[in-house]
Amino acid sequence: MSWAEIIRTGLEAVRSHRLRSGLTMLGILIGVAAVILTVGLGEGAQDKVRGQINALGSNLLIVAPGSTTTNGVRGGFGSASTLTRADAGALTSHVVAPDIRAVAPTTSRSAALTAGSSSWTTSVVGTMPDWLSVRARAIGTGRFISGEDVAGHAAVTVLAATTAEELFGARDPVGQSVTVSGVPMTVIGTLTAAGSSASTNEDDQAIVPITTAADRITGGAGRDSVQNIYLEATSGHTLSAAYQEADYELLARHRITTPTAADFSITSQQSILSTATSVDRTLTVLLAGVAGISLLVGGIGVMNIMLVSVTERIREIGLRKALGASPRVIRRQFLVEASVLGLAGGLLGTALGLAGAAILPSLISDPISISPTATVGSIVIAVAIGVVFGVYPATRAARLAPIEALRSD
Amino acid sequence: MTPTDSTSTDSTSTDSTPNDSTPNEAGTGASAAVIELTDVRKTYRSGLFEVAALRGVDLSIQEGEYVAITGPSGSGKSTLMHILGCLDVPTSGLYRLAGEDVGGMSEDQLAEVRNRRIGFVFQQFNLLPSMTAWRNVELPLCYAGGPRAERRQRAVDALADVGLADRVEHRPAELSGGQQQRVAVARALVTNPSLILADEPTGNLDSASTEDVLALFRRLHDAGRTIVLITHEAEVAAAADRVLQVRDGVVTADSGQAARALRTVRA
C-alpha cells in the first residue's frame, strides 16, 4: 500500500470521528497557540526595551554619581552629587579623552511651566549644546541652545514635542514666552518626537542651558553638581577606550586611588540592555516552559485517544489484516492518524496564535513580535508529538493477531 | 471450538522467525489442489493446560470444488477455518495453499497470501461503516496496489457480479443484511482469489437472504470458483457439493472421499 493511500486512509479515519478528532486537536492547538503568544510577548517586551535603550543615542556611556560615605555608612549609587560641571568640562579635553567625541552633563528637576493660561508640569533638563548629538535628537523648529546661551546664562528653553503641544497647542511656540518655576524664558526651539520605541517621557521635557538651570532653577549648594554625564564615544570600536579614559580622569579628579571605591559609575548602553533583556528573557523562558508543558499534555491526549481508537476499532484492524494489510501498513495508518491530529492541531494553533498576536496588543498595550523560529518550531513539535505519542498505539494495533481482532464483538 | 481466553503461541512467534521455507511447487504441479493439509495439528496453551483444537487433519480440496465444513461448536472447525484462511498457522503439519507452503511464513508474507489467494466472507459482514459499498469492495485492492481508476472499475464490476450494480454509492447502514453480505462477497471476489472462505456467512441472515446468498455461492461455483463454507447448519451445508464433518479436532466424515472412491471404482 502506497504512502498516498495510507495518508488517505488516515485522513478518512480522522474525518469520520470529527468530534473526537477535534477535541484531541484542541489540546495541541492550545499548546501551540500558548507557545507562540508567550514567546511573542517576551520578544515584544525585549524589542521594546531594546528600542528604548537604543533611542538614548549611539555609542553612549552614562556616568552617574556614586555613593557617599557618611559616618562610615555607604549610601547607594546616586545618593550623592559627586559629579560636577567641572568633571564634565575635563572630559571634553581631547588630550585627556581623545576617544570621547561629545559630553553632555545634565541636571533635571520637575518644575511647573506656564504660558499664558496653560500650565504644565514637566522635567526641566539643564544641559550643554552637545546634548542634541549625544542623545541623537533633532530640532523640529527654531534652534537648540548654543555655547553663548550657556556662557551667558541665557533665559531660553527648548521644548520637547509633547510639552510644546500641551502649552501651546497647534501654535508655533518659537519666540513665545514661558515661565519656568517663576522664571520667564523665551522658547527658542522645539525637538522632534523621539520615535515610537522611545519611552514617552523623552518627548515631555524642557531643555535649558545648564548654567541657567544652576542659577535660576536648582540654586543653593547643589548648583554645581550634575545628575548624569552623557558621553559619546568617537565610534563603536573606541567605546571601551572612552570608558577607560573617563574612568581614569574622574578617579584622578576625585583623588580616589582604589577603583573599587569610586564615587561614580559608568555604564554603557550594552550593559543596560543586557540587564534589562535578561530579566525579560528569563520570564519568557519560564512562560514558554509552561506553554510547552500544555503542549506535552496535548500530546498525551493524542496518545490516549489513539489507544481508545485502537481498542474501539479492533474489528476494523482484524478485517484489514484479513484482507491483506501487513503489520507495517497498519502501524503506518495509525501513525499517520496521530500525525494528522498533531499537524492539524499545530496549524490551527498557529492560526490562533497569529490571530491573538494581531488582536491582543490593542487590548493589553504590550507589543507581540511573532518569532518565526517559535512558530515553525511549535508546528514541528506538534507533529513530532503526534508521531511520538502515536508510536505506542500504532504498534499495539499492528501487533494484534487477526483472529483475536476478528473475534471480539 | 473457540478458545476465547487462550493465546496462540504460534501466531505471535511467526513474526520473528525468518522465513526459510520457500514455496515449493514440486509435487503439486500434477494435481490442481487448492488446499492440501497433511497431518495438521493445532494446540492452544490455556494457562497450565494444552488444548488440542486440531488433532491431525488430512484434507485435499481441488480447484472448483464447493465444500462445506460442518460440525458442532467446539469441534475445531473455526480453528480449521483460521488455518485455511492463513489467519493462524498450524502447530505442526503441512499446509499448502495453491501449491505454496504456508508454514513458516512471516506475518508480512501471510498478509500477502491472504490478500492474493483468499477472499473472506464473515458472519458479521465486517464492512467498514464509514465507506460506501464500492470503497469497501476496493479495500483488498488498496492493499494490493494498482491505479485508482482500475481499482474502482474492478470494485464496481464485482458489485455488479453480485447484483448490486445500483448500490455502488450506498453505505452499509443503507443496505439490508442480505445486501451487506453480498457486498462482502463482492469484496471476497474482487481480487480474483484462489479460494473463497466463508465463515458462517448466513448466521446473521433471515431465511430469504440466506437463500439469496446460497444461490449466489452456487452461481459462483458454477462459474468455476473454489468455495469453502464453514457452517453448523445442516441445510446450509447441504447446499455444497461436498460436506466435511469435523468433530473433536479431526475430520470424521467426508462425502467427497466417498464420491471419489466411487469414481475410482467406476473408472
Cα separation of B15 and B105, whole Å? 9
Q: Is residue B189 part of a domain?
A: yes
Residue A332 lies in a domain: yes
Place of cell 473457540: B2
pLDDT digits 0-9 by tens, A218-269: 776 677 888 889 998 888 788 888 888 988 888 888 888 887 777 888 888 7
Check residue B119 and give its pLDDT: 93
Note whether residue A401 is domain-resident. Answer: yes
Among A375, A290, A284, which Cα is nearest to A32's? A375
Q: How many folded domains does chain B comprise? A: 1
Q: Rounded to an integer, what distance in angstroms lies between the CA atom of residue A273 and that of residue A49?
A: 7
What pLDDT digit, counting tens, does each position of B236-263 carry? 898 899 999 999 889 988 887 656 655 5
Closest Cα in chain B, distance from residue A379 (Å): 30
Find the domain containing A358 and state its range.
Answer: 3-52+275-407
One domain, residues A200 and A289: no
Where is the domain boundary, A232, A256, A285?
A232
Flag whether A240 is in a domain: no
The pLDDT of residue A5 is above 60: yes
Residue of B nearest to A13 (CA): B130
For residue B174, what pLDDT is reported?
Answer: 94
Q: Which of the residue ranges A67-76, A340-349, B8-17 has the most confident prediction, judged by mean pLDDT?
A: A340-349
Q: b vs e for B121-150, b when ≥16 Cβ sit within 10 Å of the residue's Cβ?
A: bbbbbbbbebbbbbbbbbbbbbbbeeeeee
Give chain B's mean pLDDT: 83
pLDDT of A59 reads: 84
**What's the rounded mean pLDDT across residues A330-355?**
91
* A227, A310: one domain: no
Q: Is A59 within the bounds of a domain?
A: no
Residue A239 lies in a domain: no
Alpha-carbon distances of A9 from A1, A16, A336, A384, B186, rounded to whole Å = 11, 11, 9, 20, 21
Q: Which residue, of A232, A265, A287, is where some domain finishes?
A: A232
Range in A33-37, A164-168, A185-189, B27-31 with the lowest mean pLDDT: B27-31
The predicted structure's pLDDT at residue B214: 92
Is residue A219 domain-shared with residue A280, that is, in the same domain? no
Q: Residue B13 pLDDT > 50, yes or no?
A: no
Report pLDDT for A378. 86
- pLDDT at position B5 is 45
CA distance A104 to A81: 16
What's residue B38's pLDDT? 92
Domain with B192 in it:
9-266
Residues A292 and A400 in one domain: yes
A405: nearest CA partner in chain B? B87
Q: What pLDDT, on the 0 to 100 scale, is given for residue A375? A: 87
- Closest partner residue to B140 among A323, A327, A403, by Cβ? A323
d(CA A368, CA A357): 6
On whether any CB of chain B is under 8 Å from the CB of A1, the answer is: yes
Model pTM above 0.80: no
- Between residues A362 and A409, which one has the greater pLDDT? A362
Residue of chain A nearest B189, judged by CA positions: A323
| A118 lies in the same domain as A33 | no
The answer to whether A192 and A165 are in contact (CB under 8 A) is no
Q: What is the number of domains present in chain A?
A: 2
> Is A351 a domain residue?
yes
Least confident of B27-31, B102-106, B114-118: B27-31
- Shared domain for A123 and A224, answered yes or no, is yes
Whether the pLDDT of residue B21 is over 50: the answer is: no
Q: Is the model's pLDDT at B177 over the cut of 50?
A: yes
pLDDT one-digit tens code per residue, A107-124:
888 889 998 888 899 999
Q: What's the ipTM?
A: 0.82
Span B126-157, pLDDT tens digits: 999 888 999 999 999 998 888 889 999 999 99
Residue B181 has pLDDT above 70, yes or no: yes
A228 and A284 in a single domain? The answer is: no
CATH at residue B163: 3.40.50.300
pLDDT class for B194, splitting at 50, 70, 90? Answer: confident
Q: Which of B114, B122, B130 sits opposite A324 (nearest CB)?
A: B114
